[in-house]
Amino acid sequence: MINKRLLIKNLLAHNDENSFYDKKRQLNISEREGKAKFLKHICALSNSNPENNSYIVIGVEDEDNSIVGIDFFDDSKIQNLVNAYLTNPPIISYENIPFPHLPDHLVVGLVTIRPNHGKVCSFRKNIWKYYGGSVFFRDGSISMPKVFDIEIKNTNSAIVASIENHSHNNIEHTLDGVFDFMKKRRDYNPSYKVFKEYFVVCWAGKEKRIKGETYYSRVDIELINEQVKLFYSDLDEVSISEDKDQFKIIEYVHLGLHDQFKYYPLEEVVIRFRDNARYDIDSQLLFEPPQFDKKILYHIYNTNQALVEKLKKGYELNNLEKRDLRNLPSTYLLCYLNNFNEALTKLEEAKPYLKAYSNEIYNLYKESMRILRKVKYN
C-alpha cells in the first residue's frame, strides 16, 4: 500500500513539474477559469501517461517546493465534473494528505489520474477559452494543445513505477502515524480501530448525545496506512458507526431561518475493507433541501444584498446586521436550494468582502460552498 505522504515527497524530489506530475498552489474549481485549467491538466496528463498513474499535487509553492497546504476538500463528485467536460475521461481521485507541520485544517491535495490505456482524452464541449475537441499533452512541465500528429506514447511508466515503489508503507510509518494522531487530537477523544488485521483508521471528535444518539463535532478521520485524511470539519455534526468490515460516517448540516434550525443529513460515506488488502469508499448524497416560504426568502435575499453593499462601501454594521452577516452564506445557500438561481452568483461575488471581514465569516462561506459542490455535482 502506498503511503501518500511519502509519495508526495518523492514526487517533489523531482524539482520541476514534468510530464507525469504537476504542482499547484491552490485549486479553484468554483470559478470557470479555474475549472477549465484543472480540466486542461487532467487531459494533458492523461494523454501523456497512457500506462501509468499521473498526479497533481496541490498546496505547494512553485518557487521552492515548500508545502504550505490548502483547506480540506471533500468533493467526492469531482469525477462527475471530469466526465461532463472530457471525452474518454480518465478515472481520477482526490485525496487530502495531512502533514505534521501543517495546522489541522490544512492538508496537501493529491489528484491521481489513472492510466487511460491509449484512449485520446479531449474536451467534450467549450469551457472558458478552450474549445470542444481540444486535445492537450504535457510538453515538459506545461500542458499544451496539440492539433496535428497526435500520438499516445508510453514514456513515463518506468520512472513512475520506481517512485511508487519507493513510497510503500511499512510498520514504522503506520505506528508513527497512529502515535502522531493520538497526540495531536488528544483533546477530542481520539480512537483507532484495525480492520482486516491490516487497515488502521483513527478518528477523533467532540462527543455529544442528543435523544440517546451519539454525534461528534470537530471531527478528524484518517486512514493511517495511506496517510489520507478521510474527513475533517470544524462545523458539522457527524455520526460514526463501525463493524469488523466497514466504517460509516453520516454528515449532518445545520440549516434554518431566524431561530428555527434543524440538522439535515447531508451525505453517507461507507469505507468497506476487503480481505485482499484493498478497500472501497462509497458515498451517497442524503440531502433533501428544506423548503421555505418564498416571501420570507425574498426578504432575506434582499437583506443579504444590502449587507454586501455595505461591506463593499466599508460601512460599519450594527449588531443586528452582524448577526445577519453571520447567517449570510447559509441563507444564500437556502435561497439557491429554493430555486433562487442567482443566489449562487451573489454568494460567489461576496467572497472577497466576507474574507476581508473576518475569518469566522469566511469559514462559514467556505462551508456553504462545500455543501453546494456536493449537491451540484451529484
Report the pLDDT value the prediction gives residue 105, as an integer from 0 to 100: 87
Question: pLDDT band at residue 84, thresholds of 50, 70 and 90?
Answer: very high
Closest of 326, 310, 331 to residue 360, by C-alpha: 326
The average pLDDT across 46-59 equals: 97
Q: How far apart are CA 260 and CA 292, in angstroms?
A: 11
The average pLDDT across 96-121 equals: 95
SS3 at position 133: coil
| Residue with the larger pLDDT of the pair 329 and 258 | 329
The average pLDDT across 290-304 equals: 95
Percent of the chain exceeding pLDDT 90 equals 80
Percent of the chain exceeding pLDDT 70 equals 98
pLDDT in tens, 131-162: 999 999 999 889 999 988 889 999 999 999 99
Report the pLDDT value the prediction gives residue 74, as an integer from 0 to 100: 80
Q: How far apart are CA 28 and CA 41, in angstroms?
A: 13
The answer to whether the beta carbons of residues 152 and 120 sit under 8 Å apart is: yes
The residue whose grid cell reads 481520477 is: 92
Burial class from Cβ neighbours inside 10 Å (0-12, 13-18, 19+) for residue 194 reads: middle
Report the pLDDT value the prediction gives residue 64, as an integer from 0 to 100: 85
Question: pLDDT band at residue 236, thresholds of 50, 70 and 90?
Answer: confident
The residue whose grid cell reads 474536451 is: 123
Burial class from Cβ neighbours inside 10 Å (0-12, 13-18, 19+) for residue 110 reads: buried
Is residue 304 pLDDT above 80, yes or no?
yes
The average pLDDT across 274-303 equals: 93
- What Å distances lie between residue 181 and 95, 207, 248, 299, CA to CA? 18, 17, 20, 46
Report the pLDDT value the prediction gives residue 17, as an integer from 0 to 100: 61
Is residue 16 pLDDT above 80, yes or no?
no
Residue 16, CB half-sphere, CA atoms under 13 Å: how many?
6
The average pLDDT across 249-271 equals: 90
Q: How far apart are CA 29 and CA 25, in angstroms?
A: 13
- What Å distances lie between residue 119 and 18, 151, 273, CA to CA? 21, 10, 31
Report the pLDDT value the prediction gives residue 222, as an integer from 0 to 100: 96
Report the pLDDT value the prediction gives residue 208, as an integer from 0 to 100: 86
Q: Where are the domains of the chain?
A: 4-165, 171-285, 294-376
Backbone angles phi, psi at 298, to 5 degrees: -60, -40
Report the pLDDT value the prediction gives residue 30, as an integer from 0 to 100: 81
Q: How far apart are CA 72 and CA 81, in angstroms?
A: 19
The average pLDDT across 238-259 equals: 92
Is residue 378 pLDDT above 60, yes or no?
no
Report the pLDDT value the prediction gives residue 259, as an integer from 0 to 100: 74
DSSP assignment of 232-289, as one string? EESS-EEEEEE-SSEEEEEEEEEEEETTEEEEEEEEEEEEEE-TTS-EEEEEEE----
The average pLDDT across 125-136 equals: 96
The average pLDDT across 92-119 equals: 95
In the chain, what is the straight-line distance between the N-terminal and C-terminal CA atoms, in Å? 29
pLDDT in tens, 23-47: 999 998 888 999 999 999 999 999 9
Report the pLDDT value the prediction gives residue 234, as an integer from 0 to 100: 78
| Residue with the larger pLDDT of the pair 166 and 374 | 166
| Highest CATH level, class, for 4-165 | alpha beta
The answer to whether the beta carbons of residues 178 and 225 sit under 8 Å apart is: no
Report the pLDDT value the prediction gives residue 377, as an integer from 0 to 100: 58
